[in-house]
Amino acid sequence: MLSLGSGGAKSTKPSFVSYVTPEEIKSEKDPPKQEKHPDLLPGEVEFCSANPILKYTQDDLSQRGVFGTLFCTNFRVTFISDEKPQEKTDKTFKNKLYGENDIPLMCVDHIYGVYDEKRKLITGGLVKNKYPSKMIIHCKDLRVFQFSLTFSKEEDAKKIFQGIAHHCLEEKSLKCVFAFSYMGTPSPGTDLSFCREMQWKQETVMFDSPEDWTQEMKRTKANCRLVTENENFELSQRLPKYFVIPLTIGDLFSYQGKGLPIWCWSHYSGCALFKASFPPVTQEDGDFQKHLDTMINAVAHNHLYSVKTEDLSESLPNIQDIQQSYNKFKQFFLIENSTDFWLSDVKWFSSLESSGWLDIIRQCLQKAVEVVECLEKDNTNVLITEEEGTDLCCVISSLAQIMLDPYYRTLMGFQSLVQKEWVAGCHAFLDRCNHLHQKDKEVIIACSFLPVSSDAILQPEKSPLAQSGPLSCPTVWDWSVQFDSKAQNFFFNPLYLEKVKHDRAVRKPHKPKHQRNLSLPSTAFKTPPKKGFFKDETDSLKKMLRVKRLSRWRGSPDAPTATTREFFESWQHRPLDYHGLLLPCLDGPAVHIWMQRYLRWIPEVYILGGGSVAVMTKLMELLSQVQDLKRVLEQRDSSQAAKLDHRPYFQHRLLSFDSSGRLSSSFPFAYTCYRSFKPIIPTGLMQSLMVTDSLASQEDEASSVVSFV
Amino acid sequence: TSCVIPSGVHLNLRASHKNDMSLVEVEEANPAMASAPIAPYNSSPLGNSSSPNASRESLKMEPLADVAMLPGEERVIDKDIIYICPFNAAVKGKVFITNYRLYFKNTDSETPVTLDVPLGVISRVEKMGGASSRGENSYGLEITCKDMRNLRFALKQEGHSRRDIFEIIFKYAFPLSHGMQLFAFLSQEKYEENGWNVYEAMEEYRRQVLPNSEWRVTFINKNYELCDTYPTILVVPYKATDEDLRRVAAFRSRCRIPVLSWFHKENHAVIMRCSQPLVGMSGKRNKDDERYLDLIREANGTTKLTIYDARPNVNAVANKATGGGYEGDDAYQNAELVFLDIHNIHVMRESLKKLKDIVYPNVEESHWLSSLESTHWLEHIKLVLSGAIQVADKVSSGSSVVVHCSDGWDRTAQLTSLAMLMLDSYYRTLRGFQVLLEKEWISFGHKFASRIGHGDKNHADQDRSPIFLQFIDCVWQMTKQFPTAFEFNERLLVVILDHLYSCRFGTFLYNCESARESNNVRGKTVSLWSFVNSDTSLYINPFFTPESSRVLYPVASMRHLELWVTYYIRWNPRILHQQQSPVEQRYKELLAVRDQYLKKLEELQLSDSTHLTNSSTPNAATPNQHITHLQTPF
C-alpha cells in the first residue's frame, strides 16, 4: 500500500508518480490479467475504461489507495479493484443496482482535477487536452472519490477523464437519462412475489388516476371537485393530469393553468389545505386582483367561509437562498481527509450556523406548524401560495400533513404522500435536482419524528429511477429492484406501534408487531381519532360570520408569536399520542443535523459499537424474541392451529445481527470497513482552543504556595 | 403554621417518595410538566415500597406543606411571597424554609407551582430593589444557584419581611460561615444499606489483582504523614522502598507522588497519577524521582513510559516560576512527555458561566449554535475526552502511563477516571461507578469543599470550579455514544450532581480523606450511595449489555458532542419535554410482554409436565431448559 501526504491541492510534492511507472506496475503483476468488466445492468452500455487507476481510500489517517480499473457507462462511473473483492465490507444495506464503488452519473455533483498541485473545478472548457493527475468526484449523496490517473497510459487516462467529464457534466437531453435505457424488469423471482405477498399488502397510491384522487378525498372526507380536463395537458403543462379544486370554481380555462387553488388535504372538521401558484401577472392589475379574490373566495367556500392565506415566497427564504445555503452546508460533509475533518471540527457549530441550513429547516417546520394551527385549532381553510406553487408549497403542505395525519407516517402513507405532493404534484425534480435539493428538507424533517416509519427516505434521491417521468418505467417504490428483502427491513422503524384497535374485549398491552395493518387507506380512516384534537363547536359557529383574510399572518420566523407558542405548549401538555397530532420542538438545542445522512460517509465520526444503532439492535432482538415466544404459544394452543399467524414474523428475525462484529454507529447506511479498534485521536487540538484570557495563565490554586522542601 | 395535614400517614408516605425524586423534576412547571418529564424514569409501582419510606414512617415526620420533611429537617420560617417565575408570570404563594431546603408553593391558583430547592444549592443571595425603586414587586430577593438557575422572589414592604427571609436564607444556606453545621450532620435518615461500605480500597485493589509481584500495597500514609491529601492505602512499584517514596514526595507538589490507579490485567500496563515535579526555574533534578518513574516503566517492560501532562505546554512552563514544572527530556530519558492542553479551573468556571448566560432563563434562539460555540464548554469537554482516549489507548496497547497536572486533583482525576471508564467495564456498572468516584475523586483528594464551596458564603471564591460537573458531562457524552455500555442511566448522573450541592449526604463533603476522617463523616453523615442503592431500579439503563473485554473509545469530535440539555436546560419547561425517550418506553413495554409470554409458557409447560409425570420425566428441568433456549434464539 502506498502512503501519501495530505493529498489534494495542499501537498507540496507531486504525487508519487516518480516512484513507480505504469509499466513497472504492469510488469510486477502476473501475466496480462483477465480484463475485468462491471456487471452491466440490462440496458447499460460501457463507454470507456482505464487501468491502472489508483483509488484513494478515504477512511484512513494516512492516505492510501487501491489499484483497479475505472469505467464509465451510460449509468455510472464505476471502479473495480484489482485486489480480490473484500468480503469484510458490510453488505447489510446493499443496493442491488450499484455498490460502494459505483457513482451513478446523475449523482455526480462536481468534478475537480488536480493539475500540478492546483485543484480546479472541471467545467466544460477544461476538458480539452490536458488531463489532471488526480480526479476528485463530489457526489450529490456526499461521497467523495479520489482517483489518481497517473499510472495508466496517457490516452487511456485522457479518455476516461474526458468520458467521465462529458457524461457527467455536459448538458444532455432527457432521453439520455438512464431510466429510459434501463431494461430491468422487476425480477419476477422469489424476491418480488415474496415481498408483495408477505410484506406489504397495500401499495403506494400513485395519484395517477382519478380513482386514487377520489379515494383520497373519500378518506379525508373532502368536499371538492376532481378535475379531469387536464388529462392531455390541455389546461397546462405545469399542472398534474388529475387534481382537485374547490367546488365553487367554475371556469377552469380562464386561469391559464395558473392560480388555481389545488386541494392538498382535508381536516376532519371540514376545513382544508390548498396550494396555488400566482395568477398570471401579465394581465391588468384589476384582473389580477379579481383572480385573487375568486381564488380566495373559492377556498373560503369550502368550509364555513373562512380562509387564511399565506404567501410562502414572502415569508420563507426563496429557492435561490435555499440552494445557496445548501451548497454551503454540504461542503462541511464533503471531506477528503482526516486533517480536513479535524480542522473543520474546531468551528463546527458556527460553520453549521453560517450555512443557515438548520434555520431554513426550522422556518419551514415553523410555517408548517402555523398551517397546522389554523387547520387544527381555528378550523379555517388555508391557502398557501408561491410563484410556481410546486416548491415550498410542497414542503409546507407535506410537512403539515405528516404532522396532522398519522397515515402519512406509515411507510405506504409516506410514499403516497411523496407521490401526491411531489411527483403528481409536479415538483420540478428534473430542474431542481440539478440545482436544488429541495427534497432534503422534506426528508430531514420526516426523520425528526421518531414514529415516522421510514428510513427509506434516503433512497429516492440517489436512485437512477427517481427522475423517471413517464410512468411506464419501474417506480422507485418497488424497492425490490434495489434492495433485497433483508435490506428493505431497514425501512421499518421498529419503534412504530400500530394503533391499538378498539377490540373492547382484549386490551392487550401492545401488539408486538409494527407493520400497520391497513387494508386500504380509505377504510383505515373511517373515523379520525378525536382524542387530543381541539374541537369547539361553538367556536366554529362564530366563525361562520367572519372571513379572515390575512395575507401575511405572522411576523418573522425568529419570534413566533405568542399564539403559536401557546398552541405548541398546549399540545405539549397533553399526553403524547403517536397516532394523533405531532408537533416538532423548534428550540435551538432541539434542532439537530441528520447525522446518518450527512455524516454518512465520514469514517471519523463512526462510533464503533455505539450510536443509536446499538439500542436499535437490542430492540430488534427483543422484538424477535417476543415474536418467537408468541408463535410458540400460539402453536401450543392447538385449538388455534388453524388461525396460525401468517404475518411475516421473520422480519425482525432477519435483523438480529450476529455479534461477530461490532456495529458502527453508521450502520446500516455506510459501507463499514472494520477498522482496527484503534481510537481516533483528534489532531490539531492546540489550534482549537486559544484561550487568550488572563485566566488561562493563572494558577489553579489562588494561594498556590508550592513547597520547596 | 397550620400545615400539618391530618390525613395521615398514607398521604405522607406517598409524598415522601415523591420527594426523593423532587430534585430531578422541574418544580416550577405546569401541572402536566410535573408528571411528563419523569415519564422515562417511571419506576414500577413496586418501587414505592422501598426501604427508605418504611424507615421514615417510623420516624413520624412532620409534613411541610405537601412534601414530607427529611428526618432531622426542621422548620425555620414561612412567609407569604411572590415567586417571579421566568417562564410564567409572577406567582403568589408561600415559602417554607427549613434547615435543609427552601420550599415554595403557590396559593393563587389550582395549577400547582412548586419549588423544592435544597439550601446547599444556593451560591448567592442578594436583595434587589427596595424603597427607592418603583413597581409592584420592588422588594426583591435574588437567589443564584449552583445548578444553572436563579430564583427571584418579591416580598411585601411591611414588617421587614424581606430582611427576615434574607437573613434566614443567608444563615442556613451558608452554615459554615455562621458557625453552624452542614445539614448532612443533622440528618437522621436511615437506609438499609450503608453506602460508606461501597468502596473499600483493599477490596478494589484485589479486584484489580493487586498486590502482585510487580506492585505492592503500602501503608506509609497510614496517618497521612507522607501526603495529607492522599488516602491511607497506596499501591506503588514493588521495588520502591518506603524510603524511596519519602524522597520522591519531596520532589512532587504537595507530596502527591506517582501511585497506581489502575492495572491492566492482561498486559500489566498501569495508570499512575501524581502532581507536577518541583523542577522550578533552575530546572532542578531529583535522582529518586527519576529512578522511581523508571521502576514504573520497568514493571511491565514498557520501553518508554508516557507522561501525560494535562496542561497546555505554556502553562506547564509558566509553572516553573512557582517552583513546579514538568519532566524534562534530559532528566527522564526513558519517558516521553505529552501535553494534553486542558485548561485550568478558572477557564472552566468562566466557560460554565457563559453557558448559563445562554441557557437560563431563556435559551438563546437566533444564534444558538454560535453562542454555544462561544462558551467553549463543549470544546473543553472534547479536550478532556480526547486526553482520556489517548491515555486509554496507550494503556491498552501495553504501555504504562503517568498522568498529572499541577496538583493532580482536578484534571488528573478527570483523565484517569475517564480512561478507566473506557478501559474497565466494571466501572460502567452502577456499583462500579460508585467505586470509581469514591476512589479517583473522593479518596484521592479532589477538593470538593473548595470547588463547590459547601455551606460557604464566599460565592466569588476563586477556588470554585465545575471540574466534577465537567467530568460527569464527559461521562454523559460517553453514555450517549454508547447507549448499551453503561448499567446506569442519565438519572443517576443528575442525582449525583444534585447531591453534589445539596449537603444532604456526606459523600462529597471536605477536600480529602484526612479531613473527612477528623470530622467523622462516615460516622455522622449518610452516604449518597445509601440513598441511591436503596432503590436501584430508578437508575438502571434497560439497554445495558455487559461486555467485559471491550475498550470504549468515544468519538471526541464536535460532530458528536452535544450539550446535555436535560441537565443544563432542565428548568425550562419547553425543553424538558424532549426528555421522554420513546425508545426506552417501548423497550420496557416489550420486556414486560416478553416476561408475560415467558410466564405463560412456563405455566403451560408446567401443566404439560404434570401430565407427563405419570410417564417418567420427573422434574421441572425440562420447561426451564426450553425457556432458556427460547430466550437466546440467536
For B83-122, the DSSP string reads EE-SSS-EEEEEEEEESSEEEEEE-SSSS--EEEEEGGGE
pLDDT in tens, B448-497: 999 999 999 999 999 999 999 999 999 999 999 999 999 999 999 999 99
Asked whether residue B411 is marked as a ligand-binding residue, the answer is yes
pLDDT at position B35, please? 33
Please indicate if any CB of chain A lies within 8 Å of the CB of B405.
yes
**Considering CB atoms only, which of A587, A595, A700 is closest to B345?**
A700
- Phi and psi, residue B105, nearest 5°: -140, 135
| Residues of B with a known catalytic role | 405
Chain A from 539 to 578: CB within 8 A of any B CB? 558, 569, 572-574, 576, 578
Hey, are the CB atoms on A629 and B598 less than 8 Å from each other? yes
* Chain B residues touching A685 at Cβ < 8 A: 341, 382-383, 386
Q: What is the rounded distance in angstroms from the CA atom of residue A380 to the CA atom of residue A305? A: 8
Q: What is the rounded distance in angstroms from the CA atom of residue B114 to the CA atom of residue B15? A: 13
pLDDT in tens, A447-504: 333 222 222 222 232 222 222 222 333 445 555 555 555 555 555 565 555 544 433 3
pLDDT at B586 over 70: yes
pLDDT at A399 over 60: yes
ipTM of the shown complex? 0.80
Highest mean predicted confidence (pLDDT) among A182-191, B50-59, B581-590: B581-590
Residue to substitute from B225, B341, B560, interface A, most A β-carbons within 10 A: B560
Asked whether residue B223 is marked as a ligand-binding residue, the answer is no
* Average of per-residue pLDDT across B123-128: 93
Please indicate if any CB of chain A lies within 8 Å of the CB of B383.
yes
Please indicate if any CB of chain A lies within 8 Å of the CB of B366.
yes
Establish how many alpha carbons lie within 13 A of residue A453's alpha carbon, considering only the half-sphere containing its beta carbon.
24
Chain A from 6 to 35: CB within 8 A of any B CB? none
pLDDT in tens, B221-230: 999 999 999 9
* Average of per-residue pLDDT across B201-222: 96
Q: What is the rounded distance in angstroms from the CA atom of residue B40 to the CA atom of residue B632? A: 27
Burial A485-516 (b: 16+ CB within 10 A, else e): bbbbbbbbbbbbbbbeeeeeeeeeeeebbbbb
Measure Cα distances from B288 to B273, B295, B330 in Å. Answer: 17, 10, 15
pLDDT at position A672, please? 53
Whole-model pTM: value is 0.81
pLDDT at position A59, please? 53
pLDDT band at A92 (very low <50, low <70, confident <90, very high): low
pLDDT band at B325 (very low <50, low <70, confident <90, very high): very high
- Phi and psi, residue A80, nearest 5°: -115, 120
Q: A298 or B438: whose pLDDT is higher? A: B438
Identify which of A78, A277, A273, A291 has the alpha carbon closest to the alpha carbon of residue A164: A78
* Chain B residues touching A358 at Cβ < 8 A: 369
Hey, are the CB atoms on B373 and A605 less than 8 Å from each other? no
pLDDT in tens, A38-54: 788 888 888 888 888 88
Q: Quick one: closest CA in A to B562, which residue?
A: A589
Identify which of B548, B407, B345, B536 has the alpha carbon closest to the alpha carbon of residue A693: B345
Q: What does the longest C-alpha to C-alpha distance in chain B come to?
A: 97
pLDDT at position B339, please? 96
Q: What is the rounded distance in angstroms from the CA atom of residue B577 to the CA atom of residue A568? A: 11
pLDDT band at A81 (very low <50, low <70, confident <90, very high): confident
pLDDT at A94 over 90: no
pLDDT at position A166, please? 84
Measure Cα distances from A197 to A191, A194, A203, A408, A646 in Å. Answer: 10, 5, 11, 22, 11
Q: What is the rounded distance in angstroms from the CA atom of residue A391 to the CA atom of residue B408? A: 60
